[in-house]
Structure 1
């Protein structure tokens, strides 16, 4: 066993360099690089999608507009595209959100309604704010619940600092930094315990407060950066749910604590619509020699709607569109059919890609490889073999065709382990198809743009996105030209250290085909 482990380590060490050995120049590759560099359409695509259409929450008119826009855009490039229905989702449309403090003084506040929040009517909702009570147990909480009637309930902790940790590390004394960390940990632990003692959790608590007569729910889901919050979905059916930026939330929290009984007015003009069909947009460049075998370029199309979905996953979307445009122009007659899959409702559980896998078994069975990108605007920095034993062999050949200035900083791990979730490549990995997540450099993605109110066009780093479009186009070209389907043999997964049982390959999972309808 020790010798086998040593051999595996050697393989991993070799993978980072051998995969990028450069071969003779390929004229198709040179054309791809030239077109991407001299005639890039990325800025135009980003502007039209993020600025023009905006966020793409499943079930909204904007999501439908994006699907129709993509089909029309592909057709201007001579690429066939279609919208494939796979389910339906609760229809909803965001309107204007205005939130203001009206007592003890007047001030406009920085807040927005959560996705699928009920709207307000007329002059909106005006009510006093109260903080979720710190009770002894769930019985005491039930006794407290009548106190929420007619009130707006604050259910997020008050952050002890609005400065991100890196800012403290740069300027604070060692003693001050440690004190801040201890204070924040104690506050977080205390608040989590406060929630636990209610007998509810973050999902079920808003509904319980609504049922007890609360006028609305106020949260502040801070994302650890200046002015940035996570914006997810509402769990109320009749009263508004809003998320407020840390600065204003903290001020109101302190006013409540000091007994000043602050009041705010919420005007949220959202509205429920009839159930909306849910689609994947599929673009296709037909293969000439092996048209019934496929290379798939993959990126989810939907987003949360706190910002405009620029880096999650507008950048992945425009990378795949730009790669398809370049391939159609510079490699118009591929050996295999090249598809671009723009998946719907990834954010609610990979639903679009799971539906595609379930609904298209013949395509999936004959897929050479899937190249997926999802996590931000940075250039590709990591690729795992996803548990396919021979991924080093074929991915190494394909990567070696790309310019060294693109591949030299990519870390590869072969054979790696199969992805069970997280992004749409996992839907194909579960079906036994070599599907690779092209993981990007961070650019503060986790704190500043992932699912936040700051995920907007200005955060896109177009030089990195252009590099990724070149890489994807070259990988698709070389995968298409491969003489045979790539070897799909899987590694023997290690024992689960907790159970002592063999680790199972990720299982195929059914999509949610009717979402948000309960």
Structure 2
């Protein structure tokens, strides 16, 4: 009888394993079918980027994007809410128009920087002034009165407007090396000259404003055709604009040749005072382990020189689409699936670090965090983030992923903990297993990261589809895993900069009252 009972138990166990394997295979196949056959990515991208626009923290567009996300989840039967974590300087971009009015008339390619103080509708018209060489801060202070009534040009004149790959393809080797040597020398001299003033590129605009300048003109070239980085103004009352490399170079050369060009800046905006800031949190409740969480993570905010398509619209729609697929195919997960759309990542991971600080009970229950934030490319790198046993569970989950979606992924175990590159670092610092789904470049750094070119047309939807399906399968596997993930940390090696033993990163303190100091 005992032998019969043992045989029956073994048979039942084998049968249960077969059923589980079939279920897993079926669900993975259903995820793949839904992701490829009924993808909503193009529609989501259109609504988020083209209709809503950029999502600068503190702007009305950021708030309407949060509300759009809630309504989108509601259509799919997923509960979502906006959770306030702080306040920020409220601001709304208006019309920018910059023209050269002397020695000839030309409309320039330019835009006001984020949180720029508004000009009058008639704008500001003035001559331009470039920075001479300064031996030290005393020389700078002595020269500073010269900026009164002028628009100060605060960026270096670039020796070429062609990206390196263009030079590499067409120039002689000697010519290419000559250009790079010249540019490196000019950049070194420029950095030293700024340092000699006693200021940095981050705070020198305030010194010009205090000295009576009527405007700031910069050109933060991104080393790609037509691409400039668009950040913040750094002034309280006078306009600060970014001008394309081509137009900025023309103006700079005119000043250096004694022509005295004049430009007119119209940069309208609205100061909206202090406004609340949010994370949008969506939830698919768990059935067996409701207090354990698999978190789909992507920052929601962007800079506003363009519409934030690849930073981080693509990460955002990846997590939205993965959640939609899972709700349809796997509506009753064993663990709670939480989708976090974080605010103010661009100013220092403020939204995610606030969430970690405010919800220790969720952080304690994290099974895994999957974060995507570096462009439109398919996922090609996955690091264990310094968790000693990450290979065990990530390896199990990856086994279920069809080769099509993982055959280019390189893994690094146990890896090193992220220290601030994106929102997964907020969770890693708190000891929660959080992983970056790191993507192919697609010239991200030069052409779309924080630039005026980060728009819908740069999205490669085949790659984003790949990432949404991959994320959904990993989430399913993490929810189904019978074991809770280990948080044991690897012994870190020596810090390459200091030579000392590296330590685990500390949780950062979020800025909850930003842009209003």
TM-score strictly above 0.5: yes
Residue-by-residue CA offset, 1:15-39 (whole Å, 9 max, x unaligned): xxxxxxx999710000000001110
Following superposition, the deviation at residue 136 of structure 1 comes to: 2.2
The answer to whether the 8 A contact 1:23-1:400 is kept is no
**Secondary structure of 1:96 counterpart:** strand
- Equivalent residues in 2 for 1:25-36 (5 A)? 26-36=25-35
Residue-by-residue CA offset, 1:379-400 (whole Å, 9 max, x unaligned): 0010000001111110011111
Following superposition, the deviation at residue 194 of structure 1 comes to: 1.8
User: Residue 488 of structure 1 aligns with which residue?
Assistant: 487
Please say which structure displays the higher CA radius of gyration: 2
Structure 1's 427 and 218: CA in aligned 2 closer, same or farther, altered over 3 A? Answer: same
User: Residue 383 of structure 2 aligns with which residue?
Assistant: 384
Query: Separation in 2 of the partners of 1:23 and 1:259?
Result: 78
User: Residue 139 of structure 2 aligns with which residue?
Assistant: 140
The answer to whether the 8 A contact 2:118-2:268 is kept is yes
User: Residue 60 of structure 1 aligns with which residue?
Assistant: 59
**Secondary structure of 2:279 counterpart:** strand
**Secondary structure of 1:496 counterpart:** coil
Following superposition, the deviation at residue 140 of structure 1 comes to: 1.3
Q: TM-score, normalised by structure 1?
A: 0.95
Residue-by-residue CA offset, 1:262-319 (whole Å, 9 max, x unaligned): 0000000111102110100000001111111110000000000011000000000000
The reply to whether residue 460 of structure 1 matches residue 459 of structure 2 is yes
Q: Which runs of 5+ in 1 are unaligned?
A: 1-21
The answer to whether the 8 A contact 1:23-1:401 is kept is no
The answer to whether the 8 A contact 2:121-2:268 is kept is no
**Secondary structure of 2:223 counterpart:** strand
User: Residue 393 of structure 2 aligns with which residue?
Assistant: 394
Residue-by-residue CA offset, 1:436-462 (whole Å, 9 max, x unaligned): 000000000000000000000000000
CA RMSD of aligned residues (A): 1.2
User: Residue 118 of structure 1 aligns with which residue?
Assistant: 117
Query: Separation in 1 of the partners of 2:121 and 2:216?
Result: 19
Following superposition, the deviation at residue 484 of structure 1 comes to: 2.1
Query: Separation in 2 of the partners of 1:222 and 1:213?
Result: 26
Query: Separation in 2 of the partners of 1:103 and 1:401?
Result: 66
User: Residue 40 of structure 1 aligns with which residue?
Assistant: 39
The reply to whether residue 446 of structure 1 matches residue 445 of structure 2 is yes
**Secondary structure of 1:157 counterpart:** coil
Query: Separation in 2 of the partners of 1:449 and 1:373?
Result: 16
Query: Separation in 2 of the partners of 1:337 and 1:278?
Result: 25
Residue-by-residue CA offset, 1:447-502 (whole Å, 9 max, x unaligned): 00000000000000000000000000001100000112111111011233555542
Structure 1's 498 and 259: CA in aligned 2 closer, same or farther, altered over 3 A? Answer: closer
**Secondary structure of 1:270 counterpart:** strand
Query: Separation in 1 of the partners of 2:282 and 2:258?
Result: 59
The reply to whether residue 505 of structure 1 matches residue 497 of structure 2 is no
User: Residue 217 of structure 2 aligns with which residue?
Assistant: 218
Query: Separation in 1 of the partners of 2:103 and 2:22?
Result: 71
User: Residue 11 of structure 1 aligns with which residue?
Assistant: none
Query: Separation in 2 of the partners of 1:251 and 1:500?
Result: 47
Corresponding residue pairs, total: 497
Query: Separation in 1 of the partners of 2:294 and 2:438?
Result: 19
Query: Separation in 2 of the partners of 1:58 and 1:445?
Result: 22
User: Residue 315 of structure 2 aligns with which residue?
Assistant: 316
**Secondary structure of 2:447 counterpart:** helix
Following superposition, the deviation at residue 143 of structure 1 comes to: 1.0
Query: Separation in 2 of the partners of 1:233 and 1:404?
Result: 43
Query: Separation in 2 of the partners of 1:277 and 1:513?
Result: 10
Following superposition, the deviation at residue 509 of structure 1 comes to: 1.2
User: Residue 76 of structure 1 aligns with which residue?
Assistant: 75
The answer to whether the 8 A contact 1:309-1:455 is kept is yes
Query: Separation in 2 of the partners of 1:499 and 1:246?
Result: 38
Query: Separation in 1 of the partners of 2:394 and 2:37?
Result: 27
The answer to whether the 8 A contact 2:286-2:337 is kept is yes
The reply to whether residue 296 of structure 1 matches residue 295 of structure 2 is yes
